[in-house]
Amino acid sequence: MQQQLGYIYDRIETLSPMHSKKLKKNMAFFDDRYLELADTFFNKYTRILQAQNKTLDYSIDCYLQMIADVNSETIEFLRTGKYTSSTFDEVNKRVYARPETMEYYMHGLIMSQFLWRHHYQMFNYFITTLPQYVNVIKHYLEVGVGHGFYLSKVLEVLNPESSITAVDISETSIALAKSFINDSRIDFILKDIFEFDNHKKYDFITLGEVLEHVEDPLKLLLKLNALLSPDGVLFFTTPTNAPAIDHIYLFNNVDEIRLLIKAAGFQIESEMAILSEDVSPEKAEKYKVAVLYGAFIKKSNPTN
């Protein structure tokens, strides 16, 4: 195993042996590309941390803080059947408007890209499917760009002349994404997506793990439908049964997400549902184990 990854696994084993056992089980699901991608990522990420006088220990602490949050949210979720927050105002005060919280959360989340099998597998699905659409992408939009990892990889396959817009409601997310990407082609916009208006139509929109952060996910998908060009493609991911400090909208199962896609005037081009634990889909729904759903979707009526 490459140097940084080995260090991360060893340190997590020392700091949190229980969590380490869970992570080690994930490793059986990583494919041949995993080590190569992880190596490239951690080399780049370590350099960014160094430029900010930080080390990987900082990011491991952020990751474990995020896990502690998820664990306490999960206890409440299993007790009540609900996420602890239900309004945008609550999570805005609790998370987006608090740079210190956003900071550890985004560093924790970027680490999870290579520590959680469902995050790694979903990214792989995205980046291996995207090239089939690349030739028609003149205008690219990412909503909720977060740490910027997805966008950093998109830049490697997008035509150099494509315009790129990245929207996020959090100043901390935009700052981290900028440090991670550093590409003058990108127009970073600090805004709530519901307040984002543009005469431009986008040929491709990415929305990674944002739908569960809004009170009305149908309203968000309708908004993105209006921003999409007639033959444009939207890629989105969202989890079912995934308590977190900033999750508002609970999807109980994948069928609820599919119904939403249809209601927002989309049809599915391809989709993927990945279990976060090694259990059957039936057990996952019964015991409320998170499933990460992702899909490439198009307008069902391109004249709209």
- Kindly identify the residues of this chain, within the stretch 52-111, that bind ligand SAM according to CB under 6 A: 96, 109
Integer CA distances (angstroms), 79 to 108, 223, 243, 250, in order: 25, 34, 12, 15
Pull the structure tokens for residue 248: 């508002």
Strand 163-168 to strand 139-143: parallel, antiparallel, or no bridges (unpaired)? parallel
- Kindly identify the residues of this chain, within the stretch 145-184, that bind ligand SAM according to CB under 6 A: 145-146, 150, 167-170, 173
Chain position whose Cβ is nearest to ligand SAM: 146
Q: How far is the CB of 66 from ligand SAM (least distance, A)?
A: 10
- The answer to whether residue 189 forms part of the interface with ligand SAM (CB under 6 A) is no
Question: What is the total count of residues that contact ligand SAM (CB under 6 A)?
Answer: 19
Distance (Å, whole) CA 124 – CA 147? 17
Residue among 168 and 203 whose Cβ is closer to ligand SAM? 168
User: Would you say 241 and 252 are in contact if contact means Cβ atoms under 8 Å apart?
Assistant: yes
Residue among 150 and 266 whose Cβ is closer to ligand SAM? 150
Residue among 59 and 170 whose Cβ is closer to ligand SAM? 170
Residue among 15 and 222 whose Cβ is closer to ligand SAM? 222
- The answer to whether residue 193 forms part of the interface with ligand SAM (CB under 6 A) is yes
Q: How far is the CB of 208 from ligand SAM (least distance, A)?
A: 3
Residue among 87 and 304 whose Cβ is closer to ligand SAM? 87
Residue spans of beta strands (DSSP E) within 177-284: 186-190, 202-208, 228-240, 266-275
Residue among 165 and 170 whose Cβ is closer to ligand SAM? 170
Task: Give the residue, chosen from 115, 180, 189, 208, that forms a contact with ligand SAM under the rule CB under 6 A.
Answer: 208
Mind giving me the DSSP string for 127-189?
A: HHHGGGTGGG-SEEEEES-TT-HHHHHHTTTS-TT-EEEEEES-HHHHHHHHHHH--TTEEEE
Q: Which of 178, 117, 169 is nearest to 151 (CA)?
A: 178
Pull the structure tokens for residue 55: 């080390």
Residues forming the site for ligand SAM (CB under 6 A): 96, 109, 143-146, 150, 167-170, 173, 192-193, 208-210, 213-214
